[in-house]
Structure 1
């Protein structure tokens, strides 16, 4: 068997993304760009295909770390409207689970640093963080601590949401590529990411899919994961 055939076999045996996983992309992408009409439809589809209310809330709360509080707050407000309308139509959506306890104080910094190292694959350091150590601490304690220590959304789902959000916004290409790499570090394979990009192309827009594809291509060309 040739190397190409082995690679194709590996990709073919990779589990396809579930409808629930696929639905994360449009929700995160439309929320990140403030497209309320698109978000409304994406939330409806996501709830219909297995996202719980808690899943949706967690995706939209996490989004503020990448797209800012205004987009996150507006998206959460839209979710409330969608849930109320669905309730009026007689639809009972699953509430989902709450997160377990999150560390605090010095334990939060330690947990966030460990999460960041595990996600990225190596300890994160560099001139930027020496220049602005405050942002390094925020990343470790808040993003990788407060957020990624929450247990009511798995890391693969969090990374799918992050990739979609960053791909939807222009000017975040370095961070997009970093999170494509992290997605692969947490177990998402090339075939699954290509499938996810197809979802972004068909259900969001071509530009979002193009940016995600470019990030994946660059990651693969570098011989990674």
Structure 2
């Protein structure tokens, strides 16, 4: 555990909240999943304090993710242009599309990255010089250190150490979660955690059948510093620019997450 987590005020969540937080692992409504121990909510170092409005850059992220996850390449093209116009760097755009392979699969991720290449080249041909951005500031840890770092990140995002009979039945799935998703991916600091959650929410909203995970990531979004007002804005942006079903799923998930968190 990091010193900040060890110093955090520990308390017990109710059973319903604990189960909800456990969904942050992507397990959905799996019986027996509980957060054994919760920590007081904190804002990770690589996120900004809560605000009531998304920046122009942030507004583009859920749309990029939603169109990537649904395979809507023409509208993905528009969303990528919107994001780059709003100040999203090329590195950040790439990172969003790479991360989302974990939710939408390698084929859609690869197709979206190919489209980003076309967008960047087309903009360059028009004389637009987009900011390249930066790569992660440090190499990813390996071995046991990677697992330990991933476990810390997992705990901060889910609100507590999560245990489940599923992990006893198939221990490798939690090893992948801790080492790869929360380790390899979330340790890459060229994209902040709020942007990562905005991308995840957009992708899951565009994925029928992923409603439990979408609800959990609405809650995770608040845990990493996004406000209820910003998440309502996400639902409004999806209602305006994406399909009605996508916006409906996002709105319902936010309502349920707010109820579960007591907001």
How many aligned positions are there? 213
Partner of 2:99: 62
Structure 1, residues 87-142: CA drift from partner, whole Å, max 9, x if none?
11111010011112211111000000000000111112112222211111101100
Partner of 1:32: 69
Structure 1, residues 37-69: CA drift from partner, whole Å, max 9, x if none?
010010011100111100100000001000000
**TM value normalised by structure 1:** 0.92
| 1:182 corresponds to 2:220 | yes
| 1:219 corresponds to 2:257 | yes
**Structural RMSD (CA):** 1.2
Structure 1, residues 15-46: CA drift from partner, whole Å, max 9, x if none?
31100001101101100111100100100111
Match of 1:155 among 174, 193, 196: 193
Distance (Å, rounded) in 2 between the aligned partners of 1:219 and 1:44: 31
Alignment of 1:195-210 (within 5 A): 195-210=233-248
Match of 2:133 among 84, 87, 96: 96
Alignment of 1:121-136 (within 5 A): 121-136=159-174
SS at match of 2:87: coil
Partner of 1:50: 87
Distance (Å, rounded) in 2 between the aligned partners of 1:224 and 1:58: 33
**TM value normalised by structure 2:** 0.79
| 1:84 corresponds to 2:121 | yes
Larger strand share, 1 or 2: 2
Q: Structure 2 regions of 5+ residues with no counterpart?
A: 1-49
Do the aligned residues in 1 keep the contact of 2:219 with 2:258 (CA within 8 Å)? no
